[in-house]
Amino acid sequence: MIEIKNLCFTYSDCKKGVQSIDLTISDGECVVLTGPSGGGKTTLTRLINGLAPNLYPGSLAGSILIDGQPLWELPGWAIGRQIGSVFQDPKSQFFSSELRGEVAFACENYGLSKSEIRIRTDGAISAFSLNRLQDQSLDVLSSGEKQRVAIASVYALSPTIYVCDEPASNLDDEGAERLAAALRKLKADGCTLIIAEHRLSWLSGIADRFIYINHGSIRWERTAAQMNRISSEQRRADGLRELIKAEINKLSAPGGNTAALCTKNLCCRRKRTEIFVDFNFSLYPGQITALTGHNGAGKTSLALTLAGLWRESGGIVEIDGARHSAKQRRRRIWYSSNDTGTQFFTNSVTEELLLNADRSPERIDRARQLLKQLGLYEYKDVHPASLSGGQKQRLSIACGILSDRSILIFDEPTSGLDGGNMEIIADVLQSEAKQKRTILIITHDMELMRRCCDCAINMDADRKYQGPV
Amino acid sequence: MQCKNLAVAVKLWALLCAIIGISLTSDTVLTCVLSVLGFAYLATQKNRRLLCSFGIFYIFLAALLYLIRFHNLHMVIFSEFYVLMFWNLSPVFIVAWDLITTPPGELSAFLSRIHMPTPIILGLLVMFRFFPTMKAELKSVVRSMRNRRLTALGQVLCHPAASCEYVIVPLLLRCLQIADQLSVSALARGADYPGVRGSYYGKALDWRDGLWFTLWTVGTAAFLLVGGVRL
């Protein structure tokens, strides 16, 4: 049992933290921490797995008891043995470039025997259906596959408590379902699950209790049954995502009079691997098109090729009826990557928006409006690196909108965003579509698709266009 | 094709033999004997990629040496000195490259077995992860710069300092972030456990290892006996 009593924590390098947290989590219970971005969910997970204040220093008061024993009295490695941690961004946390080495890492650290390490590692690889990735470098896996590797590496150690910080933010529906099945199995085995998450629908049937955290404190607690009765208005007011996976109305394939962008037999090959072949589709001005498909289907590769950041290995891309080379496409198409860590180059949010552009009063005014619309105005003078993940995503969208390019491609713009921010982004994209801009969104987010997409393209496993979703 | 790696201890021994052989020999050109031994050593491990790349480079060096010796070839940039230096050091390059491209798990298993302190093993694992990670990050930065039109020739020539800053600053920030995330990941998975580290791999020595241990020992000794020792 985990007992948290009057817990207060403030980071030493900023004023953020949590206050007056009282929470009891029974053995075998699945508790979901939810609420707006920056509300304190991640801080609470860091306190439970002992990373704060050990690695994230700050002032601390109150206590956390694990089976009656104060957490702070345990050494870090002892906490890690009992409490497994799954983080949001797995790719920069790998210690090995190959699957077995990474999954075995924790077992190796705890000095288990070779036979025990092998049994646990191979078992975890099978449990998460990772066998086919055995001979691939982890660097080339899709983000969903990387997340499954990260979870498998924790699973191999068999902790009794799992603390997960947005584990499904980069997973497609199938990946999330597979993760849900794994968590269901852990729960059936008696493990305690604490999951900080915005996406709630995949947790249906697993979560016992939902804790809503905002401004650093618990605002309310609801059981799964109570959550199912919550009204849509209340859910939206709290900035929550959908609780049950709702079926999306069938979106048609893109259609219209004059295509803004058209591909003919487009092919992409990287290092002797065919990523997609003979891909034919069109995008139309004023429409928001969703590009969907499984993790690893080649969506990002397609976007990079369209934007001229990768050269196509065959076929052509036409913009407004004329064939465009990769270099020409870069002038017409904007691409916002899912990974915002390396997208910003200046010292402030405002400078970032005006980078490489004229500073006319109209543009400055437009930048100001956009920052306000995206909830970033109060951060206009801060360094982009100091923004949270969700804020960086919104800044990247703002940069795309302020660019003079008529075709905008956004790669997973709402992964890891709460319901409120998802609504804001949907509104902004819709208003740009009304200005006759062509927008392509790579997404697994059904809620976003239902909210703002007009049509959809699906890439299936054999990397060929399959028509309407 | 899957590589059949020899034990790390044998690889280290091979490297030591190659270094001793190259350092003590008085016949520079005869180092081809150790190179041939190195190529056979790669072939036994089915390290086809390394075998092909080093093989092509070695044939290129041999052709240059032939042209220099018999046709008085003189090159300004890649002079005779460099050709001979690469020819001479090739056995060391072959064996060293084979060692550093060994899967990190096998290296850490070996270090665990010789009771190397865990912080050193983790440091080594981080080092192996660092270069591919930073390479991927650099690619990502350059791609973002191209997307923002910051790599145009005019832009780079007119603002060279700013262009450097555009690459270095995000890269350094990312480097710090990755270091932070790696520390968190390591500590959350028991990196500070005080006991001896285990290993998934822990390969036991077999007859192939014994054979190559002997071949490198005998080969290097014979090479020095025939070629002479520089004292």
With an 8 Å Cβ cutoff, are B170 and A92 in contact? no
- Looking at residue B159, the DSSP 8-state letter turns out to be -
Query: Is it the case that residue B5 has pLDDT exceeding 60?
Result: yes
pLDDT range class, residue A89, cuts 50, 70, 90: confident
With an 8 Å Cβ cutoff, are A97 and B129 in contact? yes
pLDDT tens digits along A423-441: 999 999 999 999 999 999 9
Mutate to test the interface with A, among B134, B159, B200 (most CBs of A within 10 A): B200
Average pLDDT, stretch A359-378?
93
pTM over 0.95: no
Half-sphere exposure of A456 (CA within 13 A, CB side): 25
Spatial CA neighbour of A159 closest among A96, A100, A89, A79: A79
Residue A101 has its nearest CB partner, among B170, B193, B200, at B200
Query: Searching chain A, which residue's CA lies closest to the CA of residue B150?
Result: A356
- Looking at residue B30, the DSSP 8-state letter turns out to be G
With an 8 Å Cβ cutoff, are B136 and A139 in contact? yes
3-state SS record for chain A: CEEEEEEEEEECCCCCEEEEEEEEECCCCEEEEECCCCCCHHHHHHHHCCHHHHCCCEEEEEEEEECCEEHHHCCHHHHHHHEEEECCCCHHHCCCCEHHHHHHHHHHHCCCCHHHHHHHHHHHHHHCCCHHHCCCEHHHCCHHHHHHHHHHHHHCCCCCEEEEECCCCCCCHHHHHHHHHHHHHHHHCCCEEEEECCCCHHHCCCCCEEEEEECCEEEEEEEHHHHHCCCHHHHHHCCCCCCCCCCCCCCECCCCCCCCEEEEEEEEEECCEEEEEEEEEEECCCCEEEEEECCCCCHHHHHHHHCCCCCCCEEEEEECCEECCHHHHHHHEEEECCCHHHCCCCCCHHHHHCCCCCCCHHHHHHHHHHHHHCCCHHHCCCCHHHCCHHHHHHHHHHHHHHCCCCEEEEECCCCCCCHHHHHHHHHHHHHHHHCCCEEEEECCCHHHHHHHCCEEEEECCCCCECCCC
CA distance A157 to chain B (A): 9
Find the DSSP H helices in B25-117.
32-44, 48-71, 80-100, 104-113
With an 8 Å Cβ cutoff, are A139 and B122 in contact? no
What's chain B's average pLDDT?
89
pLDDT tens digits along A389-417: 888 999 999 999 999 899 999 999 998 88
Query: Is it the case that residue A464 has pLDDT exceeding 70?
Result: no
With an 8 Å Cβ cutoff, are B147 and A307 in contact? yes
CA distance B63 to chain A (A): 30
Alpha carbon distance A14, A194 (integer Å): 25
Alpha carbon distance A438, A333 (integer Å): 9
pLDDT for A422: 93
Looking at the DSSP bridge assignments, the partners of residue A62 are none
pLDDT for A462: 44
Task: Give, in degrees to the nearest 5, the angle at Cα A290 between A288 and A291.
Answer: 140
Share of chain B above pLDDT 90, in %: 47
Query: How many CB contacts within 8 angstroms connect chain A with chain B?
Result: 167
With an 8 Å Cβ cutoff, are B190 and A106 in contact? yes
Query: Searching chain A, which residue's CA lies closest to the CA of residue B144?
Result: A343
pLDDT range class, residue B74, cuts 50, 70, 90: confident
pLDDT tens digits along A177-210: 878 888 888 899 899 999 999 889 899 889 999 9
Query: Is it the case that residue B67 has pLDDT exceeding 60?
Result: yes
With an 8 Å Cβ cutoff, are B147 and A309 in contact? yes
User: With contact defined as beta carbons under 8 Å apart, do B130 and B122 qualify?
Assistant: no
With an 8 Å Cβ cutoff, are B200 and A96 in contact? no
pLDDT for A465: 45
Task: Give, in degrees to the nearest 5, the angle at Cα A16 between A15 and A21.
Answer: 125
Query: Searching chain B, which residue's CA lies closest to the CA of residue A342?
Result: B141
With an 8 Å Cβ cutoff, are A92 and B186 in contact? no
pLDDT for A468: 43
Share of chain A above pLDDT 70, in %: 97
pLDDT range class, residue A469, cuts 50, 70, 90: very low
* Sign of CA pseudo-dihedral A380, A383, A384, A389: negative
Query: Searching chain A, which residue's CA lies closest to the CA of residue B134?
Result: A92
CA distance A189 to chain B (A): 21
What's chain A's average pLDDT?
89
| Of the listed ranges A33-47, A84-98, A216-230, B73-87, the one predicted with least confidence | A84-98
* Sign of CA pseudo-dihedral A44, A48, A53, A56: negative
pLDDT for B3: 67
pLDDT for B2: 59
With an 8 Å Cβ cutoff, are A109 and B171 in contact? no
Query: Searching chain A, which residue's CA lies closest to the CA of residue B192?
Result: A77
Q: Which residues of chain B have a CB within 8 Å of the CB of A84? A: 188
With an 8 Å Cβ cutoff, are B202 and A114 in contact? yes
Q: Which domains does chain A have, with CATH numbers?
A: 2-237 (3.40.50.300), 261-459 (3.40.50.300)
Q: Which residues of chain B have a CB within 8 Å of the CB of A92? A: 133, 177-178, 181-182
pLDDT range class, residue A90, cuts 50, 70, 90: confident
Reported ipTM: 0.84
Q: Which residues of chain B have a CB within 8 Å of the CB of A116? A: 198
Alpha carbon distance A444, B54 (integer Å): 45
Query: Is it the case that residue A6 has pLDDT exceeding 50?
Result: yes
Residue B125 has its nearest CB partner, among A87, A95, A309, at A95
Q: Which residues of chain A have a CB within 8 Å of the CB of B129? A: 94-97
Residue A111 has its nearest CB partner, among B165, B171, B195, at B195
Query: Searching chain A, which residue's CA lies closest to the CA of residue B148?
Result: A356
With an 8 Å Cβ cutoff, are A117 and B199 in contact? yes
User: With contact defined as beta carbons under 8 Å apart, do A290 and A459 qualify?
Assistant: no
Alpha carbon distance A89, B135 (integer Å): 18
Average pLDDT, stretch B82-101?
93
User: With contact defined as beta carbons under 8 Å apart, do A374 and A397 qualify?
Assistant: yes
pLDDT for A374: 93
More confident residue, B18 or A140: B18
Query: Searching chain B, which residue's CA lies closest to the CA of residue A303?
Result: B147
pLDDT tens digits along A115-174: 999 999 999 998 888 888 887 888 778 767 887 888 889 999 999 999 999 888 777 777
pLDDT tens digits along A323-365: 999 999 999 999 999 888 889 999 999 999 999 888 899 999 9
Query: Searching chain A, which residue's CA lies closest to the CA of residue B127?
Result: A95
Alpha carbon distance B80, B71 (integer Å): 13
CA distance A77 to chain B (A): 4
With an 8 Å Cβ cutoff, are A337 and B181 in contact? no
Residue B149 has its nearest CB partner, among A135, A337, A356, at A356
CA B205 to chain centre: 23
Query: Is it the case that residue A23 has pLDDT exceeding 50?
Result: yes
pLDDT tens digits along A267-280: 999 877 888 899 89
Amino acid at A234: Q
With an 8 Å Cβ cutoff, are B193 and A77 in contact? yes
Q: Which residues of chain A have a CB within 8 Å of the CB of B102? A: none
Q: Which residues of chain B have a CB within 8 Å of the CB of A80? A: 187-190
| Of the listed ranges A88-92, A212-216, A464-468, the one predicted with least confidence | A464-468
Q: Which residues of chain B have a CB within 8 Å of the CB of A136? A: none
pLDDT tens digits along A281-325: 999 999 999 999 887 788 999 999 999 999 999 999 999 999 999
pLDDT for A467: 43
pLDDT for B192: 87
Looking at the DSSP bridge assignments, the partners of residue A196 are A33, A165
Looking at the DSSP bridge assignments, the partners of residue A161 are A83, A192
Residue B37, SS3 per DSSP: helix
Residue B148 has its nearest CB partner, among A51, A101, A356, at A356
Residue A337 has its nearest CB partner, among B136, B144, B191, at B144
